[in-house]
Amino acid sequence: MVQMTWAGQLSPDEAAAVRSLVAAAAEADGRAPVGEHVLMTLSGEHLLARQADGQLGGYVNLDRDNDGRYVAELAVHPGHRRRGLGTELVTQLLQRAGEGDLRIWAHGDHPGGQAIGARLGFTRARDLWRMRMAFTGELPERALPDGLSLRAFVPGQDEAAVVEVNNKAFSWHPEQGGWTTADIELREAESWFDPAGFFLAVRDGRIVGFHWTKVHAARPDTGNQPIGEVYVVGVDPDAQGGGLGSVLTLAGLRHLRERGLPSVMLYVESDNTTAIRVYEKLGFAHWDSDVQYARSR
Protein backbone atom coordinates (compact mmCIF):
# COMPACT_ATOMS: atom_id res chain seq x y z
CA MET A 1 0.00 0.00 0.00
CA VAL A 2 1.43 3.38 -1.06
CA GLN A 3 0.56 6.57 0.81
CA MET A 4 0.56 9.73 -1.34
CA THR A 5 1.01 13.04 0.49
CA TRP A 6 1.37 16.58 -0.87
CA ALA A 7 3.55 18.96 1.14
CA GLY A 8 4.25 22.67 0.78
CA GLN A 9 7.55 22.52 2.62
CA LEU A 10 9.74 19.54 3.41
CA SER A 11 11.11 18.78 6.85
CA PRO A 12 14.87 18.16 7.09
CA ASP A 13 14.23 14.40 7.25
CA GLU A 14 11.95 14.53 4.21
CA ALA A 15 14.47 16.60 2.25
CA ALA A 16 17.19 14.09 3.10
CA ALA A 17 14.95 11.22 1.96
CA VAL A 18 14.23 12.98 -1.35
CA ARG A 19 17.94 13.55 -2.02
CA SER A 20 18.69 9.93 -1.14
CA LEU A 21 16.00 8.68 -3.54
CA VAL A 22 17.33 10.91 -6.34
CA ALA A 23 20.88 9.69 -5.71
CA ALA A 24 19.75 6.06 -5.91
CA ALA A 25 17.93 6.71 -9.19
CA ALA A 26 20.96 8.54 -10.60
CA GLU A 27 23.21 5.63 -9.68
CA ALA A 28 20.86 3.19 -11.45
CA ASP A 29 20.20 5.30 -14.56
CA GLY A 30 23.44 7.25 -15.02
CA ARG A 31 21.45 10.52 -14.89
CA ALA A 32 19.75 12.31 -12.02
CA PRO A 33 15.96 12.35 -12.58
CA VAL A 34 15.62 15.72 -10.82
CA GLY A 35 17.50 18.85 -11.82
CA GLU A 36 20.15 20.73 -9.88
CA HIS A 37 18.05 23.78 -9.07
CA VAL A 38 15.19 21.71 -7.66
CA LEU A 39 17.53 19.75 -5.40
CA MET A 40 19.25 22.91 -4.16
CA THR A 41 16.08 24.85 -3.37
CA LEU A 42 13.36 22.21 -2.90
CA SER A 43 10.86 24.97 -3.54
CA GLY A 44 7.32 24.57 -4.85
CA GLU A 45 5.07 21.66 -3.87
CA HIS A 46 6.12 18.10 -3.17
CA LEU A 47 4.36 14.78 -3.60
CA LEU A 48 5.79 12.03 -1.40
CA ALA A 49 4.91 8.40 -2.11
CA ARG A 50 5.72 6.27 0.93
CA GLN A 51 5.61 2.51 1.10
CA ALA A 52 4.00 0.62 3.99
CA ASP A 53 7.38 0.43 5.73
CA GLY A 54 7.74 4.23 5.52
CA GLN A 55 10.41 4.16 2.80
CA LEU A 56 10.12 6.89 0.16
CA GLY A 57 9.39 5.12 -3.12
CA GLY A 58 8.54 8.10 -5.32
CA TYR A 59 8.74 11.86 -5.43
CA VAL A 60 7.29 14.72 -7.49
CA ASN A 61 8.29 18.38 -7.44
CA LEU A 62 5.73 20.83 -8.86
CA ASP A 63 6.59 24.48 -9.42
CA ARG A 64 6.09 27.22 -12.01
CA ASP A 65 8.58 28.52 -14.57
CA ASN A 66 9.10 32.17 -15.50
CA ASP A 67 6.28 31.90 -18.06
CA GLY A 68 3.79 30.81 -15.40
CA ARG A 69 3.53 27.20 -16.56
CA TYR A 70 3.47 24.33 -14.10
CA VAL A 71 6.71 22.37 -14.41
CA ALA A 72 7.22 19.03 -12.69
CA GLU A 73 10.10 16.65 -12.09
CA LEU A 74 9.71 13.20 -10.63
CA ALA A 75 11.68 10.19 -9.50
CA VAL A 76 10.90 6.58 -8.63
CA HIS A 77 13.30 4.59 -6.47
CA PRO A 78 14.89 1.74 -8.49
CA GLY A 79 13.61 -0.74 -5.93
CA HIS A 80 10.00 0.31 -6.50
CA ARG A 81 9.77 0.42 -10.28
CA ARG A 82 7.61 -1.61 -12.67
CA ARG A 83 4.71 -1.56 -10.21
CA GLY A 84 2.76 1.36 -11.66
CA LEU A 85 4.11 3.91 -9.20
CA GLY A 86 5.37 6.27 -11.90
CA THR A 87 1.97 6.30 -13.60
CA GLU A 88 0.23 6.93 -10.27
CA LEU A 89 2.58 9.85 -9.51
CA VAL A 90 1.78 11.47 -12.84
CA THR A 91 -1.95 10.85 -12.35
CA GLN A 92 -1.81 12.59 -8.96
CA LEU A 93 0.20 15.40 -10.56
CA LEU A 94 -2.41 15.93 -13.28
CA GLN A 95 -5.12 16.24 -10.66
CA ARG A 96 -3.05 18.74 -8.68
CA ALA A 97 -2.21 20.92 -11.68
CA GLY A 98 -5.85 21.03 -12.80
CA GLU A 99 -6.40 22.80 -16.11
CA GLY A 100 -3.16 24.80 -15.99
CA ASP A 101 -0.41 24.29 -18.54
CA LEU A 102 1.81 21.43 -17.36
CA ARG A 103 5.27 20.32 -18.44
CA ILE A 104 7.18 17.34 -17.05
CA TRP A 105 10.94 16.92 -17.39
CA ALA A 106 12.43 13.58 -18.41
CA HIS A 107 16.16 13.99 -17.77
CA GLY A 108 18.11 11.84 -20.19
CA ASP A 109 14.79 11.07 -21.90
CA HIS A 110 14.51 7.88 -19.87
CA PRO A 111 12.44 5.16 -21.65
CA GLY A 112 10.19 4.86 -18.59
CA GLY A 113 9.29 8.53 -18.89
CA GLN A 114 8.59 8.14 -22.60
CA ALA A 115 6.23 5.25 -21.95
CA ILE A 116 4.30 7.03 -19.19
CA GLY A 117 4.04 10.20 -21.27
CA ALA A 118 2.65 8.36 -24.27
CA ARG A 119 0.18 6.42 -22.14
CA LEU A 120 -1.18 9.55 -20.45
CA GLY A 121 -1.40 11.77 -23.52
CA PHE A 122 1.74 13.91 -23.24
CA THR A 123 3.67 15.14 -26.27
CA ARG A 124 7.31 16.07 -26.65
CA ALA A 125 7.50 19.88 -26.33
CA ARG A 126 11.12 20.84 -25.69
CA ASP A 127 14.52 19.19 -26.11
CA LEU A 128 17.47 20.45 -24.08
CA TRP A 129 20.62 18.95 -25.54
CA ARG A 130 23.72 17.97 -23.65
CA MET A 131 26.78 18.32 -25.86
CA ARG A 132 30.21 16.97 -25.00
CA MET A 133 33.77 17.50 -26.20
CA ALA A 134 37.00 15.68 -25.36
CA PHE A 135 40.06 17.86 -24.82
CA THR A 136 42.15 16.24 -27.54
CA GLY A 137 43.16 19.17 -29.77
CA GLU A 138 44.14 22.81 -29.63
CA LEU A 139 41.56 25.47 -28.91
CA PRO A 140 41.30 28.41 -31.32
CA GLU A 141 42.51 31.88 -30.38
CA ARG A 142 40.11 34.80 -30.13
CA ALA A 143 41.20 38.38 -29.45
CA LEU A 144 39.40 40.26 -26.70
CA PRO A 145 37.33 43.12 -28.20
CA ASP A 146 38.79 46.59 -27.70
CA GLY A 147 38.03 48.26 -24.40
CA LEU A 148 37.30 45.01 -22.56
CA SER A 149 39.22 43.07 -19.93
CA LEU A 150 38.69 39.73 -18.21
CA ARG A 151 38.88 39.10 -14.48
CA ALA A 152 37.64 36.55 -11.95
CA PHE A 153 34.39 36.82 -10.06
CA VAL A 154 34.67 38.27 -6.54
CA PRO A 155 32.20 36.73 -4.05
CA GLY A 156 30.30 39.31 -2.07
CA GLN A 157 30.94 41.97 -4.70
CA ASP A 158 29.77 40.86 -8.15
CA GLU A 159 26.51 38.98 -7.57
CA ALA A 160 24.10 41.81 -8.39
CA ALA A 161 25.95 42.84 -11.56
CA VAL A 162 26.07 39.25 -12.83
CA VAL A 163 22.33 38.84 -12.16
CA GLU A 164 21.63 42.00 -14.17
CA VAL A 165 23.59 40.72 -17.17
CA ASN A 166 22.15 37.22 -16.85
CA ASN A 167 18.54 38.39 -16.80
CA LYS A 168 19.03 40.69 -19.77
CA ALA A 169 20.84 37.97 -21.76
CA PHE A 170 18.24 35.30 -20.91
CA SER A 171 15.05 37.38 -20.75
CA TRP A 172 13.47 34.85 -23.14
CA HIS A 173 14.42 31.76 -21.11
CA PRO A 174 11.77 30.05 -18.94
CA GLU A 175 14.25 29.14 -16.17
CA GLN A 176 17.46 31.12 -16.56
CA GLY A 177 15.89 34.54 -17.08
CA GLY A 178 14.57 35.13 -13.58
CA TRP A 179 17.63 34.74 -11.40
CA THR A 180 18.22 36.67 -8.19
CA THR A 181 21.37 37.16 -6.14
CA ALA A 182 20.08 34.34 -3.92
CA ASP A 183 20.37 31.93 -6.89
CA ILE A 184 24.04 32.79 -7.23
CA GLU A 185 24.68 32.64 -3.50
CA LEU A 186 23.10 29.17 -3.36
CA ARG A 187 25.64 27.98 -5.91
CA GLU A 188 28.51 29.72 -4.13
CA ALA A 189 27.73 27.46 -1.16
CA GLU A 190 28.12 24.31 -3.28
CA SER A 191 31.32 22.27 -3.01
CA TRP A 192 32.07 22.70 -6.73
CA PHE A 193 32.07 26.52 -6.66
CA ASP A 194 35.38 28.05 -7.71
CA PRO A 195 35.61 31.81 -8.36
CA ALA A 196 38.80 31.23 -10.37
CA GLY A 197 36.62 29.50 -12.99
CA PHE A 198 34.04 32.32 -13.10
CA PHE A 199 35.19 34.81 -15.76
CA LEU A 200 33.83 38.33 -16.06
CA ALA A 201 34.17 40.66 -19.06
CA VAL A 202 34.45 44.27 -17.92
CA ARG A 203 34.18 47.56 -19.84
CA ASP A 204 34.72 50.88 -18.05
CA GLY A 205 34.25 49.15 -14.72
CA ARG A 206 30.92 47.56 -15.72
CA ILE A 207 30.37 43.82 -16.16
CA VAL A 208 29.03 43.13 -19.66
CA GLY A 209 29.47 39.36 -19.90
CA PHE A 210 30.49 36.27 -17.98
CA HIS A 211 31.37 32.61 -18.30
CA TRP A 212 30.75 30.48 -15.23
CA THR A 213 32.41 27.07 -15.41
CA LYS A 214 31.75 24.05 -13.25
CA VAL A 215 33.54 20.79 -12.50
CA HIS A 216 31.52 17.64 -11.87
CA ALA A 217 32.93 14.79 -9.82
CA ALA A 218 33.39 11.40 -11.48
CA ARG A 219 30.09 9.66 -12.14
CA PRO A 220 28.73 6.71 -14.16
CA ASP A 221 27.66 8.63 -17.28
CA THR A 222 31.19 10.06 -17.72
CA GLY A 223 33.02 6.75 -17.42
CA ASN A 224 33.69 7.51 -13.75
CA GLN A 225 35.86 10.48 -14.67
CA PRO A 226 35.40 14.12 -13.66
CA ILE A 227 34.04 16.41 -16.36
CA GLY A 228 33.97 20.18 -16.84
CA GLU A 229 30.91 22.17 -17.79
CA VAL A 230 30.25 25.38 -19.64
CA TYR A 231 27.76 26.22 -16.89
CA VAL A 232 26.48 29.62 -18.05
CA VAL A 233 27.73 32.06 -20.70
CA GLY A 234 25.87 35.36 -20.66
CA VAL A 235 26.52 38.54 -22.65
CA ASP A 236 24.67 41.83 -22.18
CA PRO A 237 22.64 42.40 -25.40
CA ASP A 238 24.27 45.82 -25.71
CA ALA A 239 27.69 44.12 -25.94
CA GLN A 240 26.73 41.36 -28.39
CA GLY A 241 27.94 41.12 -31.95
CA GLY A 242 31.66 41.63 -31.34
CA GLY A 243 32.65 38.06 -30.57
CA LEU A 244 32.63 38.45 -26.78
CA GLY A 245 30.66 35.25 -26.29
CA SER A 246 33.34 33.24 -28.13
CA VAL A 247 36.14 34.89 -26.13
CA LEU A 248 34.42 34.09 -22.84
CA THR A 249 33.64 30.52 -23.89
CA LEU A 250 37.24 29.85 -24.88
CA ALA A 251 38.60 31.41 -21.68
CA GLY A 252 36.52 28.97 -19.66
CA LEU A 253 37.45 26.00 -21.85
CA ARG A 254 41.15 26.74 -21.42
CA HIS A 255 40.69 26.96 -17.67
CA LEU A 256 38.96 23.57 -17.58
CA ARG A 257 41.59 21.96 -19.81
CA GLU A 258 44.41 23.37 -17.68
CA ARG A 259 42.82 21.70 -14.68
CA GLY A 260 43.55 18.39 -16.38
CA LEU A 261 39.96 17.45 -17.14
CA PRO A 262 39.53 14.97 -20.00
CA SER A 263 36.30 16.45 -21.36
CA VAL A 264 33.69 19.20 -21.06
CA MET A 265 29.92 19.38 -21.50
CA LEU A 266 27.23 22.01 -21.92
CA TYR A 267 23.48 22.39 -22.27
CA VAL A 268 21.85 24.06 -25.28
CA GLU A 269 18.30 24.21 -26.60
CA SER A 270 17.88 21.85 -29.55
CA ASP A 271 16.34 24.59 -31.71
CA ASN A 272 19.22 27.04 -31.08
CA THR A 273 20.90 26.06 -34.34
CA THR A 274 23.25 29.05 -34.35
CA ALA A 275 24.75 28.14 -30.98
CA ILE A 276 24.90 24.45 -31.89
CA ARG A 277 26.92 25.24 -35.03
CA VAL A 278 29.36 27.31 -32.96
CA TYR A 279 29.80 24.49 -30.46
CA GLU A 280 30.17 21.87 -33.19
CA LYS A 281 32.99 23.90 -34.76
CA LEU A 282 34.76 23.81 -31.40
CA GLY A 283 34.44 20.01 -31.33
CA PHE A 284 31.26 19.46 -29.31
CA ALA A 285 28.80 16.75 -30.36
CA HIS A 286 25.31 15.81 -29.17
CA TRP A 287 25.50 13.54 -26.13
CA ASP A 288 21.92 13.11 -24.94
CA SER A 289 18.80 15.16 -24.20
CA ASP A 290 16.59 16.32 -21.38
CA VAL A 291 13.02 16.47 -22.65
CA GLN A 292 9.97 18.38 -21.47
CA TYR A 293 6.70 16.62 -22.14
CA ALA A 294 3.54 18.74 -22.36
CA ARG A 295 0.03 17.65 -21.56
CA SER A 296 -2.09 17.44 -24.68
CA ARG A 297 -5.47 19.16 -24.63
- CA diameter of the chain: 67
Annotated binding site for acetyl-CoA: 74-76, 82-87, 233-235, 240-246, 272-277
Query: What is the phi/psi pair of residue 239, to 5°?
Result: -110, 5
Annotated binding site: 36, 74-76, 82-87, 175, 214, 229, 233-235, 240-246, 267, 272-277
Beta strands of the chain (E only): which ranges? 3-7, 45-50, 56-64, 70-76, 102-106, 122-134, 149-152, 198-203, 206-219, 225-235, 263-269, 285-295
CB 234 within 8 Å of CB 278: no
Q: Report the half-sphere exposure of 34 (CA within 13 A, side-chain side).
A: 28
Q: Is the dihedral of CA 267, 66, 183, 6 positive or negative?
A: negative
Residue type, 70: Y
